[in-house]
Amino acid sequence: MKDMIKPILIHPDPRLKKLCAPVTDLSDELRKLADDMLETMYDAPGIGLAAPQVGVLNRLIVMDCIKEGTPEPTVMFNPEVLSSSDDENVYEEGCLSIPEQFADVTRPASVRVGWIDMDGNPREKDFDGLWATCVQHEIDHLNGKLFIDYLKPMKRQMMTRKSQKMKRERARG
């Protein structure tokens, strides 16, 4: 079946605050969801997307942080950070669920991540640069955490209000 672009939930939404359940059965339905999420991410456009952002509360993320050249669509079921570097990196992050707003977030500069791939095989890999930032941002989504949760309360509240306004405007059409 053809890949479908899914609507992306906008913050605030209770589904973006939930702890997502591990994937226990890698079904064709979940593989189709992963393909639809990649299509949705490229269309947005974005460099990552987590299942709760399309309203599915399972531990699934997709990413492609290649800016130029051959795309690297990456699908991870049950991703987990196995180890993190002591050195940190600051990146001005955005989120497709908090449109048009950006803020600096400090995270470990490199991480080792384990996950299950589309064929059901366990994988492990070290990530650095934008990939490291993105994979941590996406895994946070699976734990109900948004990048604004790293900010001071005043700034978080301001960004939440802006997002709420944008959500209302989009709903009105």
How far, rounded to the nearest angstrom, does the alpha carbon of residue 168 sit from its chain's CA centroid? 23
Residue 93 touching ligand K1U (CB under 6 A): yes
Confirm if 48 and 62 have CB atoms less than 8 A apart. Answer: yes
Mask of contacts with Zn ion, 89-108, x by CB under 5 A? ------x-------------
What are phi and psi for residue 21, nearest 5 degrees? Answer: -85, 145
| 52 touches ligand K1U by CB under 6 A | no
| 10 binding Zn ion? (CB under 5 A) | no
Contact between 79 and ligand K1U per CB under 6 A? no
Residue 96 CA, distance from chain mean position = 8
Binding flag, residue 96, ligand K1U (CB under 6 A): yes
Spatial distance between the Cα atoms of 110 and 107, rounded to a whole number of angstroms:
9
Per the residue annotation, which of 39, 68, 88, 138 is the catalytic one? 138
Query: Distance between CA atoms of 119 and 28, rounded to whole angstroms?
Result: 11
Q: Cα(97)–Cα(46) distance, rounded to whole angstroms?
A: 11
**Structural tokens at position 45:** 């456009």
Which residue, 52 or 109, has its beta carbon nearer to Zn ion? 52
Binding at 93: pick from Zn ion, ligand K1U, none (beta carbon under 5-8 Å per type)? ligand K1U
110 binds ligand K1U (CB under 6 A): no
Interface region with ligand K1U, contact rule CB under 6 A, candidates 21-29, 78-86, 131-139, 151-159: 131-139
- Token pair in block for residue 32: 């189709």
Active site residues: 138
* Binding site residues, Zn ion, CB under 5 A: 95
